[in-house]
């Protein structure tokens, strides 16, 4: 079985519940600061997962490895390699497919609903109006030829599919322990007051018992695509 490449960007935004759900070897890499990273060839991989991070998806001057990530994602979509992009990962996927990034489009931090507007075999387990965790201020347009899967008023493109690639703006990897980590990470909560942090913690206790099982089913559906590639 070929491995899945997992691209991370900061230490606190790992793959979370995605990793055990894939049930396949993983190659976890952080190349965001490398201007010339050596990434695996597509024929070596069963799939690609791209996680979140605080940087802008087009900030190649500050984070030169992003350009290589986008090139790999464009090639993966062309080659029909299963891809799952989360938050920054979705924005990188959108840029790779020619969409426009909107910096500071609108901040969403905390739990809130999205409307699932089209059926998708991988996204489907979340249902039609799931409550998910948002943590972003940038937004991406829908790439040409892609299918819009989820939306809300603040961020019109919350999820899309392009061939074998799925991008989700919200955090489906989250488990309670990861939320605890995030709420204790100054880089993430530094601009939030104590009341906002307490609200996210309370909302997590209420919504994660429903969201986590659904997210695990989502990952299992993605894992089926990875296993089929082998």
As a dihedral over the C-alpha atoms of residue 39, residue 15, residue 119, residue 115, rounded to 10 degrees, the angle is -120
17 to each of 23, 34, 67, 96, how far by Cα in Å?
11, 27, 27, 25
- Name the active-site residue from 13, 87, 108, 134: 87
- Does 87 participate in catalysis according to the annotation? yes
- Does 108 participate in catalysis according to the annotation? no
Residues belonging to the active site: 87, 171, 173
């Amino acid at each position: 079985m070929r491995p899945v490449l997992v691209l991370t960007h900061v230490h606190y935004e790992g793959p979370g519940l995605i990793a055990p759900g894939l049930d396949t070897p993983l190659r976890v890499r952080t190349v965001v600061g490398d201007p010339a990273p050596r990434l695996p060839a597509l024929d070596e991989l069963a799939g690609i997962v791209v996680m979140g991070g605080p940087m802008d998806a087009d900030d190649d001057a500050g984070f030169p490895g992003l350009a290589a990530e986008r090139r790999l994602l464009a090639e993966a979509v062309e080659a029909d390699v299963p891809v799952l992009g989360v938050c920054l990962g979705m924005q990188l996927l959108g840029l790779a497919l020619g969409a426009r990034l909107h910096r500071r489009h609108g901040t969403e931090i905390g739990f809130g609903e999205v409307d699932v507007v089209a059926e998708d075999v991988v996204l489907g387990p979340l249902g039609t109006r799931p409550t998910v965790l948002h943590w972003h201020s940038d937004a991406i347009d829908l790439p040409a030829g892609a299918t819009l899967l989820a939306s809300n008023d603040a961020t019109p493109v919350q999820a899309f599919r392009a061939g074998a690639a799925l991008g989700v703006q919200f955090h489906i990897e989250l488990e309670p322990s990861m939320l605890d980590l995030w709420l204790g990470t100054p880089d993430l909560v530094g601009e939030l007051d104590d009341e906002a942090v307490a609200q996210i913690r309370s909302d997590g206790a209420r919504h994660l018992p429903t969201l986590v099982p659904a997210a695990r089913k989502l990952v299992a559906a993605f894992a089926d695509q990875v296993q089929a590639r082998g």
